[in-house]
Amino acid sequence: MRIADYLPPAAERLKTERTFLTDGPYYGRASMAGQCVRQCVYSMLLAAGRIDVPEDGSRDDLTRSTAFLIGDAIHTWVQEAVRLYDPEATVEEAWSTDLLSGHADAVYTDEDGAKVVVEAKSMSASYFHSAMAGGKPRYDHLMQAGVSAYMLNASKVHVIYICKNAPRSISPTLEWVLEVPQFEVMMAIEALEYAAQSARDGVIPARLYQGHEIDLPGDEHTCCRWCPYTERCLMDGPGVHPLELVDDKWVVHA
């Protein structure tokens, strides 16, 4: 008997347990901030079962569930630490608008009285070393924290990276406390709102990233490196594509 054969799909179970009332497939999620607008729309329509997207077969369900459980445990660990620093801190603080929704991993008040939103990320050594070398958090991670900070009227973000497999020679944590970059965050919010409205209208938008349109996806574009929808994106081509509903699926209008 193999215990692994009986392990439940933890990612789906925990995702269901953490569903907020404001969540839905046609809401722009703060966790999408900093992504390409088209990638956001694919995620919304796929969650609703409205489009078919070729699956990324590089990770099976057990691998995804393992990563999810480790990440969830690390988030809980960070939240406990925040509450030790500030007993009045909140965790999983949710917010929503007509088009957007999200939550902050934690929110605390610092020694200067400033409201701070925490964004915790667990990652492998390769991504962790890249962050060490760059000396700053990844753009999309900063935007995710920044959008929630803006919505919760916080003036700072605290981004925490924890490496799941760091060698003993280095500390497994990186941290940045930063002022909310207002201009970039407003651009990210506008992009998320445009993505949510596009999904509701049944439109595949152009490949918009940081205010610019990507003609052809590729690794030279940061947002394309981690995108699971590259095959579908290439099939749809550049530009804007209205969709029509056929057998309960959105398909590109011929």
**Chain segment 124-150, per-residue pLDDT in tens:** 888 889 899 999 999 999 999 999 999
Q: What is the mean pLDDT of residues 225-250?
A: 83
Residue 218's pLDDT band, with cuts at 50, 70 and 90, is confident
**Chain segment 179-214, per-residue pLDDT in tens:** 999 999 999 999 999 999 998 888 999 999 988 899
What confidence score (pLDDT) does residue 9 get?
Answer: 62
Rounded distance, CA 117 to CA 107, Å? 5
Residue 54's pLDDT band, with cuts at 50, 70 and 90, is low
**pTM exceeds 0.95 for this model:** no
Residues 6+ away with beta carbon under 8 Å from 239: 206
Give the residue, 18 or 116, on which the prediction is more confident: 116
**Chain segment 71-119, per-residue pLDDT in tens:** 888 889 999 999 999 999 999 999 999 999 999 999 999 999 999 999 9
Is CATH 3.30.70.20 the classification given to domain 3-188? Answer: no
Residue 68's pLDDT band, with cuts at 50, 70 and 90, is confident
pLDDT at 18 over 50: no
Q: What is the mean pLDDT of residues 213-241?
A: 86
pLDDT at 20 over 50: no
What confidence score (pLDDT) does residue 221 get?
Answer: 82
What confidence score (pLDDT) does residue 107 get?
Answer: 97
pLDDT at 42 over 60: yes
Residue extents of the structural domains in the chain: 3-188
